[in-house]
Amino acid sequence: MSTDLSCIIVDDEPNAVSLLEMFIRQNTGWDLRAKCYDAREALAFLKNDHVDLIFLDINMPQLTGMEMAALLPPSTHIVFTTAYSEYAAESYSFPTIDYLLKPITLKRFYAAMQKIDSFFARTGTPSRDAVPPSAEAAPALIREDEYFFIKSGRTLQKVLLKDILYIEGEKEYARIVTPEQRLLVYRRLKDIEDQLSPSFARIHNSYIVNLSRLDAIKDNHVFIGTIQIPISEKFREAFMNRIKQRVF
């Protein structure tokens, strides 16, 4: 459980706020920083206090949840709460972790809680003492001298991380692809992923890509030169949340 995760509730319905507050305080170790009853109040709070997560109602007077979400930094993630399901598709154009339909049950909150904890365990909870929100969590650049060795027979071959285009998994093997070579290693993709720097991203069960090597992203594919690699639904949300931090 992400006990150091900070959050606020933004909803114009007092009963909905009270219910979410009860769920959060009784079932998580999260730091509930504020309860705001309209978007303007929440934006005023966020001018001076950064949080990791916002439980955000969509249908609010004056400024809707969608309109507020468009004003938030990409490092602030959202769980939308609403009585209307028709906004679900649009909500995922923002850094959305989940979409809760009212009335929210404890069972559904538990499912959201697990999804939230899993997301922050995978991506890391931002430090609130480090840097301002606009500078947080941008994909790291690879240092020129970062490397690892690949065993090939009796030889250990050095590979610079900056040279890797992508890594493709094939059951118990992985193929590391650089502009000059394709190296096959007896390692599962998950084992390699755990040892890579943050400049790499898993975009598919079978692919890890070097973010610094991407030339384009279109529809459900990334492009490295003429190479086209699919983005699976399982990894798309986390991947696109990272990419949004470098979109102008």
pLDDT at 152 over 60: yes
Per-residue pLDDT averaged across 172-189, rounded?
88
Q: What is the structure's pLDDT at 90?
A: 65
pLDDT tens-place string over residues 164-180: 999 999 888 899 999 99
Fold of 6-135: Rossmann fold (3.40.50)
The mean of the pLDDT values for the chain is: 83
Residue 89: what are its φ and ψ, rounded to 5°? -65, -45
Fold of 147-244: OB fold (Dihydrolipoamide Acetyltransferase, E2P) (2.40.50)
pLDDT tens-place string over residues 104-128: 999 999 989 988 988 888 776 544 4
pLDDT tens-place string over residues 48-106: 898 999 999 999 988 999 889 888 877 789 999 988 776 666 666 678 888 899 999 99
What CA–CA distance (Å, rounded) separates 151 from 149? 7
Report yes or no: 220 and 230 within 8 Å, Cβ to Cβ.
Answer: yes
Give 190's pLDDT tier (boundaries 50, 70, 90): confident
Provide the residue ranges of all domains of the chain, joining segments of one domain with +.
Answer: 6-135, 147-244
Q: What is the structure's pLDDT at 87?
A: 63
| 240 Cβ contact list (under 8 Å, min separation 6) | none
Per-residue pLDDT averaged across 176-194, rounded?
86
Domains 6-135 and 147-244 are alike in CATH topology: no
Per-residue pLDDT averaged across 191-197, rounded?
77
What CA–CA distance (Å, rounded) separates 39 from 50? 15
With a pLDDT cut of 70, the percent of the chain lying above it is 85
Axis crossing angle, helix 233-244 with helix 106-123, rounded to the nearest 10: 60
